[in-house]
Amino acid sequence: MEDFLRRAAADLHIGVEQTSPTTWTLTIPGSLGRVFGKETVLVTTDKQVAALDPDLQLLSPNSSLTLRLAEQLRSRGRPTHRARLEWYPDQVSLLADVQEAQLIQGPNLQLSGLQQHIVLRITFRIRFEREVIEEKMVACCVDYETGQVWPTITDITNLRDQLTPLPSTGLTDEHVNVALHHARRWLERLLYPQKALHEAQLAQLLAVEKARINAFYDALEEDSGLALGAKEGESNKQYALEEERKRLLDEQEYRYALSLAAETVSVATIQTPVLHIGSKHQPHLIAISPLFEPMIQLPHCQTCGRQASLVAHKEQLVCNVCHQVLAQ
């Protein structure tokens, strides 16, 4: 808990002064004044001490202070948790799986070993909002060192037993900022095709609605002979009808407009072993970790930016999506 407090304080620019083995005085910066409602907060990790002194706020995993700090960290994209994933894979059988799936056709594949990677794991909640609201969760891992991004499982409940505490990592604010930047770009690239698809569907529905409204008002105007402007003094009525038509069309435009929002749900720093499989010359083509979704990750093509299976062509590996030679 003390470790969480120190990290949260460092990230949020909160001053921390230890006043006894279990009590601290926090100096809240002006930017967080509204959140905490005061300039100094006295905290303790000792339940009994907190119960006796109404001025002391309890810092425990579920106390309101902890939740408030975690919320502030999350909204700034700061990791709220740190963990190490313990994973001891059967490397030979994973190599056999990769070979069988023919993800990389041509070169002889070999195990390139298990490497520890420190990643920023971030989960987003995506809301597509139109007549019905669609919500879904997506997550990715960003390698702090290389900036590489892997899609990640959104629910790590099944891995809980394999998570152990991760001591300090030496990561700076700058590391986190760069990783967040990569995560957001990944999210944009992920959402773009879905957004385009939604917009196309909405445009189609809108066109149908507009045609229906226009047909209705065209018929109405024709019936009353307004289209010809035949009768004197009826121009007001025509004007009113046109206004009504315009209002209905605008309403439909609004109804079929797409709203899309992404909200950060959780941010953590995780050290995970990654099993790499590759060729003799390109040992890191495939990356495997139980955090990844799917667990076996194809190489990133540096031309089209997508993950793709590879095929050997004239002794070079070619991306199966854009057919460019993979440069590594």
Positions in the binding site for Zn ion (CB under 5 A): 301, 303-304, 319, 321-322
Query: Which two structure tokens, joined as six digits, stand for 196?
Result: 């385009």
Least separation in angstroms between CB 175 and Zn ion: 28
Smallest gap from residue 112 Cβ to Zn ion (A): 22
Nearest to 248 by CA among 223, 221, 215, 222: 215
Chain Cα centroid distance, residue 145: 19
Burial of 327 from C-beta contacts in 10 A (0-12 / 13-18 / 19+):
exposed
Q: Which is nearer to Zn ion, 47 or 189 (CB)?
A: 189
**Measured from the CB of residue 326, what is the shortest distance to Zn ion in angstroms?**
8
Query: Least distance in Å: CB of 289 to Zn ion?
Result: 23
C-alpha 283/C-alpha 33 separation (Å) is: 51
Choose between 203 and 322: whose C-beta lies nearer to Zn ion. 322
CB 299 within 8 A of CB 307: yes
Residue number, 47 or 323, with CB nearest to Zn ion: 323
Nearer to Zn ion, 270 or 319 (CB): 319
Encoding tokens for residue 174? 């700058």
Which run of H or of E encompasses 28? none
User: 3-state DSSP call for residue 122?
Assistant: strand
Question: Which CB, 126 or 319, lies closer to Zn ion?
Answer: 319
User: Nearest approach, Cβ of 302 to Zn ion (angstroms)?
Assistant: 8
Residue 326 DSSP one-character state: P
